[in-house]
């Protein structure tokens, strides 16, 4: 039997699988004859797993054990906005996993997001196998173009857990463009407006016969059809609150009923001008009497509820067009992707924005899987018939002094690409360097996604400034980032797949494969009478296909830094700049040389500033600014043993504290758990635990908590328990202590 490869669109709300055979593309329907399968997972009391519409039917009566929209959480941190939002609205339990990852707890079993994704992928794999009558071990899996490295890596992990060999992670809009233009010999510029269940992407492509070049892509991973549903939910809940004085949002069962009704109403409005919404017995009143919702929703009402969401999408379109250097009228076509684009209110808005009739000859629910299938066939065959030239959607940046970042590879740069920057040590006999990698467009490190940090040691040490370390950043065709460091003198080399706080380490991955949750999926395909799937052996995770494509060869887990470790920094010249990023023991500013060819040898003494190149001038607007609450600046003058600013009052959270070298927090008590963020680095110890302060807990700059080491800040119940110390008077850092109990956990 010839090897086959399928294309899988793993969607927020629905997923789809397709196959291309000699250019003929078929969407493979599930056992119920549906071309898409709900991306919903239900875990039964006996531990059995069901996926799809059968699982979705459980949302109302078994909301705690039914997982939907999990794509919104994949590759995210527990404390991210999306994590917070999910905790507020989802009936299933969301818990924090290792490295602040998001985990889902169902009936005492904790699942990682890649495992949830794997269950859905396994179902799609089974659908394909039952339809094709042979194993489908290879796949092209699509992701939103705007997914960052964390999310891509997590998706790739999901496929691996499902027992799939991922030929390629493909961007959804690119797949759609391929499905539209493949084999047609077009010479066109097209835009793909992709509004999915949970994400929005816009890509602008130039199609030159067999070449599909993405000129620019932009997106919003917080905008999708779910948000349209939410507007209807809010509308109905608010109205109900006004009328009945009862808050439906506090009742998970009522909320799920509302959710189902809202989604149905939205769908009905793609065909009708108004829809009758009826939810009998949505909740019980205080007297135990059943209360209901019954009203008509017109398309005008719906339209006014979602106008701002559409405007948000067009702002993103403006950005993409501008980056592509074209205007809307230069486009030869606009391709609509995603179920929500069936809505007349959206079609109308798109028509007005692009000043043209959008193309409707492709099915918005199937086009992505079809494109993925075409590419999958192309990758398996010897003669590739089309070339996809994609770009990286987000700028890759490195962390530099002052909580800032410096771009290495800007967004919309074609991939694969590799860029090298040269760093040097700032201290005599320095033994290791740390590079922190971000994705995003902000100069502020905290506003970008932290991909991970990379430590390089084992190079030949020397006097400061003598060592030259080439750090190479690579983004591959899947959009996945890797980092390599090399000592110029010795050629000593180390490389790593960025180990992500939200991803899975190799050890975790092994444990997950061992656990084999994907094998527990009871596929509808297997139950369906027409399905020969029962004869198809389930894929053995990790053993299929060309495993060398699954993981990079050299994986290197990152280890917490010891105080001896040093981080390279951007600019040694800004002698007023007190920021220190990860290490309390640095006795001087570390330095980073952007490029020896461009910037001649940098001054080694941080207190005699070398001439600044223009790019460096704006690195430190805050140096020397006074210390104060809520201010991200730091002391210019070192002060010993400064305490938490005495004015800090309970209830005035979040508190920002800037300290030069050390501080101890006393006398403030909080009820809730504590979260601490430090720009710079600190040795933290829990007084309650009586732990040695030299344990070396590193607090890294991030918008969320990052607590390395083994001290769990969440265990602390009062600020008394926490002290952050540094014994180096010259190193500076700032720290922020938040009271989580004050943290609003509401919908965004």
Partner 1 sequence: MSRLQATEIQALARVIGEIDYYQLLQVPRGAVAGEVRKAYHHASRSFHPDANRHLPPELRQAVQVIAKRVAEAYSVLRDTRRRRAYDQKLDAGEGVRIQLAEAEARAERDSVESGGRTPQGRQFYKLAERDLRREDWSSAARNLQTAMTFEPDNPLFQQQLAAVKEKLR
Please identify which of the residues 62, 123, 149, 194 carries the catalytic annotation.
194
**Nearer Cβ to partner 1, position 477 or 505?**
477
- Count how many residues are written for the chain: 748
* In the complex, least distance from residue 595 CB atom to partner 1, rounded to whole angstroms: 5
What minimum distance in Å lies between the beta carbon of 542 and partner 1?
20
Which residues lie closer than 8 Å to 251 by C-beta, 6 or more apart? 283
Nearest residue to 414 via CA among 620, 178, 205: 205
Decide whether 60 or 389 has the Cβ nearer to partner 1: 389
> Which is closer to partner 1, CB of 420 or CB of 717?
420
- Report the distance separating Cα 590 and Cα 572, nearest Å: 6
C-alpha distances (whole Å) from 671 to each of 79, 414, 735 are 19, 50, 20
Q: Considering the complex, what minimum distance in angstroms separates the CB of residue 174 from partner 1?
A: 12
Give least dist CB 382 to partner 1, A.
Answer: 6
Q: Which of 6, 650, 16 is nearest to 368 (CA)?
A: 16
Cis peptide upstream of residue 594 (ω within 30 degrees of 0)? no
Catalytic residue among 56, 62, 71, 129: 71
- Name the residue nearer to partner 1 (CB basis): 22 or 108: 22
Q: How far is the CB of 388 from partner 1 (least distance, A)?
A: 7
Shortest Cβ distance from residue 309 to partner 1 (Å)? 29
Q: Tell me, what DSSP letter sits at residue 144? A: -
Pick the catalytic residue: 9, 165, 213, 256? 9
In the complex, least distance from residue 612 CB atom to partner 1, rounded to whole angstroms: 8
Cβ–Cβ < 8 Å for 81, 72: no
Q: Which residues of 305-334 are buried (b: 16+ CB within 10 A; e: fewer)?
A: bbeebbeebbebbebbbebbebeeeebebb
- CA 79 to CA 693: how far, in whole Å? 26
In whole angstroms, give the CA distance from residue 533 to residue 525.
7
DSSP output for 670-686 = -SS-EEEEEES--EEEE
Q: Are 701 and 678 in contact (CB under 8 A)?
A: yes
Could you give the 3-state DSSP secondary structure of residue 289? coil
Question: Which residue in 261, 263, 305 sits closest to 283, CA to CA?
Answer: 261
Residue 742 to residue 503: CA distance in whole angstroms: 28
* 528, two tokens: 């369906």
How many Å apart are CA 580 and CA 49, to the nearest integer? 48
Active-site residue flag, 172: yes
Whole-angstrom distance, CA of residue 730 vs CA of residue 711: 25
What are φ and ψ of residue 289, in 5° steps?
A: -80, 140
Closest CA to 674 of 718, 725, 734: 718
CA 689 to CA 36: how far, in whole Å?
53
Residue 204 CA to residue 213 CA, distance in Å, equals: 9
In whole angstroms, how close is the CB of 409 to partner 1 at the nearest point?
7
Token pair of 566 as six digits: 């040093």
SS3 128: helix
Handedness of CA 151, 153, 158, 159 (dihedral sign): positive
CB closer to partner 1 out of 420 and 505 = 420
Got the DSSP string for 135-181?
A: ---EEEEEE-TT--HHHHHHHHHHHHHTT-EEEEEEEHHHHHHHHHH
Residues forming contacts to partner 1 in the complex (CB under 8 A) are 168, 206, 208, 210-211, 213, 375, 378-379, 382-385, 387-389, 406-410, 413-421, 474, 476-477, 594-595, 597-598, 613-615, 617-618
Comparing CB distances to partner 1, the nearer of 370 and 388 is: 388
Closest approach, Cβ 379 to partner 1, in A, equals: 6
* Nearest alpha carbon to residue 214 among 96, 371, 435: 371
Is 9 considered catalytic here?
yes
Q: What minimum distance in Å lies between the beta carbon of 551 and partner 1?
A: 15
Q: Considering beta carbons, is residue 495 or 656 the nearer one to partner 1?
A: 495
- Is the CB of 53 or the CB of 381 nearer to partner 1? 381
- CA-CA distances (angstroms) from residue 162 to 44, 417, 441, 512? 19, 29, 33, 11
Our answer to whether residue 194 is catalytic in this structure is yes
Measured from the Cβ of residue 50, the count of other Cβ atoms closer than 10 Å reads 24
Please identify, using beta-carbon distances, which residue of 65 and 378 lies nearer to partner 1. Answer: 378
Phi-psi region at 403: left, alpha or beta (left = phi > 0; alpha = psi -120 to 50):
left
Of 211 and 688, the one with the shorter C-beta distance to partner 1 is 211
* CB-nearer residue toward partner 1: 544 or 639: 544
Catalytic residue among 123, 129, 149, 172: 172
As measured in angstroms, the least distance from the Cβ of 480 to partner 1 is 13
Backbone torsions φ then ψ of 622, nearest 5 degrees: -105, 0
Nearer to partner 1, 214 or 525 (CB): 214
C-alpha to C-alpha distance for 277 and 656, rounded to whole angstroms:
48
The least distance separating partner 1 from the CB of residue 376, rounded to whole angstroms, comes to 11
Nearer to partner 1, 299 or 380 (CB): 380
| Active-site residue, 377 included | no
Tell which residue, 338, 16, 307, 355, has the closest CA to residue 145: 338
| Shortest spacing between CB 169 and partner 1, in angstroms | 12
- Is 69 in contact with 12 (CB distance < 8 Å)? yes
Q: In what order do the strands lie in the sheet with 663-664?
A: 663-664, 722-725, 683-686
DSSP collapsed to 3 states, 188-246: EEEEEEEECCCCEEEEEEEEECCEEEEEEEEEECCCCHHHHHHHHHHHHHHHHHHHHCC
Active-site positions?
Answer: 9, 71, 172, 194
């Amino acid at each position: 039997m010839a090897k086959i490869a399928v294309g899988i669109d793993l969607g927020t709300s629905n997923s789809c699988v397709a196959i291309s055979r000699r250019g003929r593309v078929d969407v493979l329907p599930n056992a119920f004859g549906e071309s898409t399968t709900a991306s919903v997972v239900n875990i039964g009391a006996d531990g059995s797993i069901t996926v799809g519409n059968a699982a979705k039917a459980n949302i109302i009566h078994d909301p705690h054990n039914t997982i939907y929209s999990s794509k919104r959480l994949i590759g995210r941190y527990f404390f991210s906005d999306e994590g917070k939002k999910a905790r507020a609205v989802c009936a299933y339990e969301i818990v924090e996993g290792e490295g602040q990852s998001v985990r889902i707890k169902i009936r005492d079993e904790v699942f990682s997001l890649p495992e949830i994704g794997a269950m859905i992928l396994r179902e799609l794999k089974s659908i394909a196998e039952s339809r094709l009558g042979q194993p489908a071990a290879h796949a092209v899996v699509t992701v939103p173009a705007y997914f960052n490295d964390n999310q891509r890596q997590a998706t790739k992990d999901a496929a691996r857990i499902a027992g799939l060999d991922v030929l390629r992670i493909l961007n959804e809009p690119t797949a759609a463009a391929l499905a539209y233009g493949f084999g047609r010999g077009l010479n066109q510029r097209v835009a793909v407006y992709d509004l999915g269940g949970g994400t929005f992407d816009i890509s602008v492509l130039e199609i030159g016969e067999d070449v599909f070049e993405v000129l620019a892509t932009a997106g919003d991973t917080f905008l999708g059809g779910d948000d349209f549903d939410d507007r209807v939910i809010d509308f109905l809940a608010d109205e109900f609150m006004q009328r009945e004085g009862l808050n439906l949002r506090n009742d998970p069962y009522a909320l799920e009923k509302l959710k189902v009704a809202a989604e149905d109403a939205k769908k009905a409005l793609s065909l009708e001008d108004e829809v009758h919404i009826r939810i009998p017995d949505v909740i019980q009143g205080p007297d135990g009497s059943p209360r209901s919702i019954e009203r008509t929703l017109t398309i005008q009402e719906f339209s006014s509820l979602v106008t701002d969401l559409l405007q948000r999408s067009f702002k993103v379109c403006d950005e993409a067009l501008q980056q592509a250097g074209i205007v809307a009228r230069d486009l030869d076509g606009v391709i609509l992707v995603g179920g929500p684009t069936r809505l007349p209110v959206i079609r109308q808005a798109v028509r007005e924005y692009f000043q043209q009739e959008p193309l409707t000859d492709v099915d918005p629910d199937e086009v992505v899987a079809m494109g993925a299938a075409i590419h999958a066939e192309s990758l398996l065959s010897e003669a590739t018939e089309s070339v996809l030239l994609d770009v990286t959607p987000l700028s890759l940046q490195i962390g530099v002094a002052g909580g800032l970042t410096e771009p290495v590879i800007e967004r919309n740069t074609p991939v694969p690409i590799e860029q090298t920057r040269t760093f040097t040590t700032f201290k005599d006999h320095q033994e290791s360097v740390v590079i922190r990698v971000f994705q995003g467009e902000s100069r502020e490190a905290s506003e970008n996604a932290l991909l991970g940090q990379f430590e390089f040691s084992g190079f030949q040490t020397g006097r400061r400034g003598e060592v030259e370390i080439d750090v190479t950043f690579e983004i591959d065709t899947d959009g996945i980032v890797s980092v390599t460091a090399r000592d110029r003198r010795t050629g000593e080399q180390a490389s790593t797949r960025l180990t992500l706080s939200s991803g899975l380490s190799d050890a975790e991955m092994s444990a997950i494969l061992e656990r084999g949750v994907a094998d527990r999926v009871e596929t509808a395909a297997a139950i369906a009478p027409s399905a020969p799937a029962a004869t198809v052996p389930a894929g053995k995770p990790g053993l299929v296909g060309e495993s060398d494509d699954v993981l990079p060869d050299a994986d290197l887990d990152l280890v917490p830094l010891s105080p001896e470790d040093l981080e390279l920094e951007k600019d040694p010249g800004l002698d007023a700049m007190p920021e220190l990023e990860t290490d309390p023991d640095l006795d001087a500013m570390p330095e980073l040389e952007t490029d020896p060819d461009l910037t001649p040898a940098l001054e080694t003494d941080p207190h005699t500033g070398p001439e600044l190149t223009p790019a460096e001038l704006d690195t430190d607007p805050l140096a020397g600014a006074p210390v104060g609450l809520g201010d991200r600046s730091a002391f210019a003058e070192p002060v010993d043993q400064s305490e938490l600013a005495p004015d800090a009052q309970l209830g005035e959270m979040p508190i920002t504290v800037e300290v030069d070298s050390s501080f101890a927090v006393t006398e403030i008590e909080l009820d809730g758990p504590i979260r601490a963020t430090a720009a710079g680095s600190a040795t933290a110890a829990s007084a309650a635990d009586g732990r040695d302060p030299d344990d070396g807990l590193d607090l890294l700059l991030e918008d969320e908590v990052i607590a390395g080491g083994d001290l769990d800040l969440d265990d602390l119940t009062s600020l008394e328990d926490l002290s952050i110390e540094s014994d180096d008077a010259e190193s500076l850092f700032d720290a922020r202590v938040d009271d989580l109990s004050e943290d609003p956990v509401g919908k965004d």
